[in-house]
Chain A
């Protein structure tokens, strides 16, 4: 159902019906001395034409990924978005739809979400997926809350190779909840298994790793999963959905809760948000998972239909016993992801992943051959890798910027051990020509 705004006449009629002259009459309970008098200090209104010019000028102050070649990653990626995605999500029935609490008028929204959930289950191999949470970071935080509630334990072990922003979010969510978040060091580009084994105990509710991790490298998920379960803790992963097209599904290495950032699936970079939090789990946890779930059922006439289900998990019913207080999702972003996955299909998605893999390895190999640069870690990687530089990283990145290339993310801010390194990412969008241009620029530096 599309959005239908009220006209001035509608508003007049509504006010009259409830017995008032104007809207301000409804504010009569507020003491007049508290009401702001006078004019707000705002500039004069502009015409549409003037606004467009003004915004364009503001926008032009930013560098963007249209005019620059983007090798940036670390949680947000420049993947290709087919035009059909924006076209479909722009339909007013989707674009302005609110939460589908009333199934009679929301079958379209509900079915789209159901398809999203189904695709996420297929991609991850898990039994159930919710209709999304805010982003990859808060999805991990929700997984933490679930694990603590389910196991009744209070300690979370999270790898230092997880996106540092996600680790911050987890820590924030743990405040005031009597949950201890312990960060396990990385070594050689992935979680330190010895340190993890030493830290695991009967108090551990969950072990959290990102796979591929923040640096782009594959973790020893089989070993970590086994270790985790030996202590009766839950194994939680944060997975790049594109990587799942060619990597083993998390269900196959015993993951209990799969989370991830869905921005790579048909969503723009959006200056850091809105993004898409993927959340999926095993059947055993179905009554504890946060967020909305759409189910498929029959109405009383025996016709197929979709509806929000298992709502007794949610805080508006379970109150303080709910594992989460989330009561929203990222419907439009989830829809974009769904349209993207439907368009690409299994083979298309696999091709995207394959291109990322091939191209990133081409670039990494070529950079490694240059004087003054080398691959920092020797582990297998997917679409991102870390390069150690003998020249100050800031200089390198600036030189590339002069030629309109975002060469990578300086890792000094994330980890003191990596102050001479940067994270470089290659998606399917990067052409041979673009990569060779970067290689040439880096080659000129030494």
Chain B
């Protein structure tokens, strides 16, 4: 079970990677394992506004659909179009090629409300 130490995590199993004022969002290795084969990812358009802890999209496996929750608020500046045709990328590489959206954070202080890798490891154990 991969839980990269440099990332931050939400209760709903999303991860956040911060680079300046832009944050990248995806779901954890644990989450993709629980979901099973991902068949579809519904993501917002570039320019959309997301709010911390509110749904920004959905992820579909064969027999389940889950909401995706934003770890931070901000404006969507980039969306991973690879997931349109290859949703299984989320299973294969949840922390790298399977990234979902990039947000320009409106309030970087919000990240303080997230878990670090150790806290998340505890949660999923």
Q: Name A's B-contacting residues (CB within 8 A).
A: 287, 311-312, 317-318, 321
A317 touches B64 (CB 8 A): yes
Q: Name B's A-contacting residues (CB within 8 A).
A: 39-40, 42, 58, 60-65
Interface centre among B62, B64, B65 (most CB of A within 10 A): B65
B40 touches A287 (CB 8 A): yes
Q: How many A-B residue pairs have CB under 8 A?
A: 17
Contacts of B64 in A (CB 8 A): 312, 317
B40 touches A317 (CB 8 A): no
Q: What is the bound-complex CA distance between A364 and B16, given in angstroms?
A: 71
B65 touches A321 (CB 8 A): yes
Contacts of A318 in B (CB 8 A): 65
Q: What is the bound-complex CA distance between A344 and B63, given in angstroms?
A: 39
Contacts of A321 in B (CB 8 A): 58, 65
Q: What is the bound-complex CA distance between A312 and B66, given in angstroms?
A: 10
Closest residue on chain A to residue B58 by CB atoms = A321
Nearest CB in chain B: distance from A359 CB, A: 49
Nearest CB in chain B: distance from A311 CB, A: 7
10 pairs of residues in contact across A and B, judged by CB atoms under 8 Å: A287-B42, A311-B63, A312-B40, A312-B60, A312-B61, A312-B62, A312-B65, A318-B65, A321-B58, A321-B65
Q: What is the bound-complex CA distance between A311 and B60, given in angstroms?
A: 10
Contacts of A287 in B (CB 8 A): 40, 42
Q: What is the bound-complex CA distance between A318 and B60, given in angstroms?
A: 10
Contacts of A317 in B (CB 8 A): 63-65
Q: What is the bound-complex CA distance between A311 and B61, given in angstroms?
A: 10
Q: What is the bound-complex CA distance between A410 and B81, given in angstroms?
A: 57
Q: What is the bound-complex CA distance between A177 and B42, given in angstroms?
A: 24
Nearest CB in chain A: distance from B118 CB, A: 34
Closest residue on chain A to residue B67 by CB atoms = A321
Closest residue on chain B to residue A314 by CB atoms = B65
Q: What is the bound-complex CA distance between A317 and B61, given in angstroms?
A: 11
Nearest CB in chain A: distance from B63 CB, A: 7
Contacts of A312 in B (CB 8 A): 39-40, 60-65
Contacts of B63 in A (CB 8 A): 311-312, 317
Contacts of B42 in A (CB 8 A): 287
Closest residue on chain A to residue B60 by CB atoms = A312
Contacts of A311 in B (CB 8 A): 63
Nearest CB in chain A: distance from B58 CB, A: 8
Q: What is the bound-complex CA distance between A317 and B62, given in angstroms?
A: 10
Q: What is the bound-complex CA distance between A321 and B68, given in angstroms?
A: 14
Q: What is the bound-complex CA distance between A311 and B58, given in angstroms?
A: 15
Nearest CB in chain B: distance from A318 CB, A: 5
Which 8 pairs of residues, A with B, have the shortest CB-CB distance?
A312-B60, A312-B65, A318-B65, A317-B65, A317-B64, A317-B63, A287-B40, A311-B63
Nearest CB in chain A: distance from B36 CB, A: 12
Nearest CB in chain B: distance from A101 CB, A: 12
